[in-house]
Structure 1
Amino acid sequence: MSSLLKVAHEDKPYSEEHLDFTGLQPSFRVDLRRFSEQEYNKFVTMNTVSDWSSLSWKDVGRPYEVKANSKDRDQYEQEFGKSMSVHTSWQYFNRAFHEWFVKDVPTEQQEKKDAFKKSLVSFNPKAIKAALGDVARIQLWNYAHRIEDGVWDPRGKRALFEGLDVKKPRILFLGAAEGYEAMQLAAMYPGAEVVMVDYDEYCKTTRFQEFPETYPFLGHNPNTGQTSVYYKDDFNIEYVVDDIRNLDYGKEFDIVLSVGLLEHFPDEYKPEVVDWHRKFLKTDGYAIFTTPRNQFKSRMYYRIMADVMNHTYRELMTVEQMGLYIYENGFDIVQSGFIKVHNGVVAKAR
């Protein structure tokens, strides 16, 4: 494999010769592994509900609300004497979260360990506790994002997104952040035209702009019918900075996508959030939703990483809870499932 890496282009270091390769970079995992049928069943659980019309909230229970706020949010609300607005909290979150994506994790791990050892000499309990917390967070990020690859989870996302009846689709990504999932869809459905929308300028100028050019996406080559490797600059992407509610698009998109959007809104606002997807969708188009899973390790993650993650209202859901919100608000569920740390639902408007 090392010889293959040497002959690859520097800006695009992986090609079809590297299929089924996985390896760690300083800030992320490269994963070009394809699922075998056995592995698919191991990593992906699909279509646990046979009849969504028969499901009730009594059956599925309510989502878990994450209540451990970040220090920045608590300090902001104490200083200004009011709740942090949704827009402001999203801005704080984007900046805090992006700082972790660009870390040289192995270097940072060693630095945090060295700082912890020095804190022990001080015999200052507060300093020791803070240094130990830094070690725990970088170790957890390393496991969640690099080792397990749970944040991007390319194999899982491809499993959730496969099988759509589209060719050269127009894709609208609502609340796009760095745009990862739309790029994965564009690799799977070549010739796609992608419009990413976020109302935080930082998402366009920093989170998307600094997404690694060398990150490979596994997709489909329509000319050969074979698996192919794509990169960020292979995709046709327009990035729009605006509030979703201000968009003047019609029903012109084959796929309307949101990732980690629905769980940031209390129940009284969820019908409006679901309707944002319907508003821009072609008659036979697909709405795709994902949310973080309600499971023990996710609860622990959001507690330990509270200062990074918890600037906004946030829920953790089961796929059944997520799907029921979507079904009750006018969509039929085409496919649904859960992967490492996310739920996914593909739906069509009734």
Structure 2
Amino acid sequence: MLKLQENELSYPFSEEDLETTLLMPSYRVELRNATHGKDEFLNANIVNDWSQLTWKDIGRPYEVKTVAKERTLWEKENQERMPVKTSWEYFNRSFHEWFVKDVPTELDEKMKALTGHVKQFRFGEVKEAIGDLVKLRLWNYVHRIEDGIWDPRGKRALFEGLDVQKPKILFLGAAEGYEAMQLSAMYPGAEVVLVDYDEYCKTHRFEEFPESYPFLGANPATGSTKVWYKNQLNIEYVVDDIRNLKYGREFDIVLSVGLLEHVPDDHKPEIMDMHRRFVKPGGYIIMTTPRDQLKSRLYYKVMADVMNHTYRELMNIQQMGLYVYESGFDIVRHCYIKVHNGIIAKPR
């Protein structure tokens, strides 16, 4: 296994490192392919006929009720409900702080602090330190050990086999743009437009995404596997409200990750229309949402102060798919991977 510091080389990995995995201080490098076991779809294409599925059969999504303290305090101070854009701004800053942590170093520091509080019988500090340590250990497991948030093997399995050449890709609510970068590596020559209405996503979440993170993709010259990096990809970042975009139906792929579950049912058709508005005839819609499973409910409970500034639901693949199908899309592929549902669809 390679032992590199992230700042040693701009491109520390190559095709010679395929089937390698390595823990960095903030994330996992994953150059293994999705060939077996839990890194493939855990269950793919489980619904044979979406027209026969009803909400009575599957129930409604689980709404996450635990709210971040920052939101509660803001609403108390301002005597109003936090606006949606403000809630996203708080969330993006909070979430990004965790992505850039040196987790092993911070775990060591938290443990030392906890030990010191115990020795001095500071029981209030002990309780707070235990809470901080639990969150950090959970983050370490979900993001670094399991690689559940980026999930490169699962995402590559979801994205493979699309009938596109040098596609134009639009990512709605892009944040750091991870999934569009992975798609761009798999379909070389792609033109990517990332869109988010929080400028912090462009200036911090995207700009601070590690230059040395390797994306496993394709070599257009040979048809073999190639390792790609962020600054080798053709990416434009647009800071704007999705509703203000002037693009037409010109994109081969319109992508969103964790967008559909952030609005109640009354607004879900609008979210789906945002995807339809920009995709070419015959083009693909790709969407993911967090899965409704016990460990996900626990995660959002423990990590509420990090994650829960916005409205949020957890849904299963049948629920997600029915929203997509009822909005006028045919589902080409559906699955769930580590912690996400995934759907590829085309407008009817």
Range into which the TM-score falls when normalised by the shorter chain = over 0.9
1:291-310 matches, cutoff 5 A = 291-310=289-308
Residue 239 (str. 1) matches residue 237 (str. 2): yes
Q: Give me the identity figure in percent.
A: 66
Structure 2 stretches lacking a partner, 5+ long: none
**In structure 1, what residue type is equivalent to 2:22?**
G
**In structure 1, what residue type is equivalent to 2:343?**
V
The 3-state SS of whatever aligns with 1:83 is coil
1:69 to 67, 70, 75: 67
- 2:310 aligned residue: 312
- 1:208 aligned residue: 206
- 2:177 aligned residue: 179
1:328 to 326, 334, 341: 326
Over 3 Å counting, the alpha-carbon distance change for 1:252 and 1:111 in structure 2 is: same
1:130-279 matches, cutoff 5 A = 130-279=128-277
The 3-state SS of whatever aligns with 1:287 is strand
- Offset from partner CA, 1:282-324 (integer Å, 9 cap, x none): 0110001100000000000000000000000000000110010
- 1:34 aligned residue: 33
Structure 1 stretches lacking a partner, 5+ long: none
1:159, 1:122 → 2: CA distance?
52
1:104, 1:171 → 2: CA distance?
32
Alpha-carbon distance, 1:62 to partner? 0.6
- Offset from partner CA, 1:96-117 (integer Å, 9 cap, x none): 0000000000000001111111
- 2:111 aligned residue: 113
1:125, 1:52 → 2: CA distance?
55
**In structure 2, what residue type is equivalent to 1:20?**
E
Preserved CA contact (<8 Å) 2:39 2:153? no
Report the TM-score, using the length of structure 1 for normalisation. 0.96
Number of aligned positions between the proteins: 346
Alpha-carbon distance, 1:43 to partner? 5.0
Preserved CA contact (<8 Å) 1:215 1:232? yes
- CA-atom RMSD in angstroms: 1.4
**In structure 2, what residue type is equivalent to 1:221?**
N
Residue 23 (str. 1) matches residue 22 (str. 2): yes
Alpha-carbon distance, 1:44 to partner? 3.1
**In structure 1, what residue type is equivalent to 2:150?**
W
Alpha-carbon distance, 1:248 to partner? 0.6
1:43, 1:283 → 2: CA distance?
28
Over 3 Å counting, the alpha-carbon distance change for 1:49 and 1:129 in structure 2 is: same
Alpha-carbon distance, 1:178 to partner? 0.3
Residue 349 (str. 1) matches residue 347 (str. 2): yes
Preserved CA contact (<8 Å) 1:44 1:156? no
- Offset from partner CA, 1:120-143 (integer Å, 9 cap, x none): 234343321111001001100100
1:277-296 matches, cutoff 5 A = 277-296=275-294
1:338, 1:329 → 2: CA distance?
20
Runs of 4+ in 1 over 6 A off after TM superposition: none
The 3-state SS of whatever aligns with 2:218 is strand
The 3-state SS of whatever aligns with 1:191 is coil
**In structure 1, what residue type is equivalent to 2:280?**
K
Alpha-carbon distance, 1:247 to partner? 0.3
The 3-state SS of whatever aligns with 1:27 is coil
The 3-state SS of whatever aligns with 1:35 is coil
Preserved CA contact (<8 Å) 2:40 2:153? no
Alpha-carbon distance, 1:337 to partner? 0.3
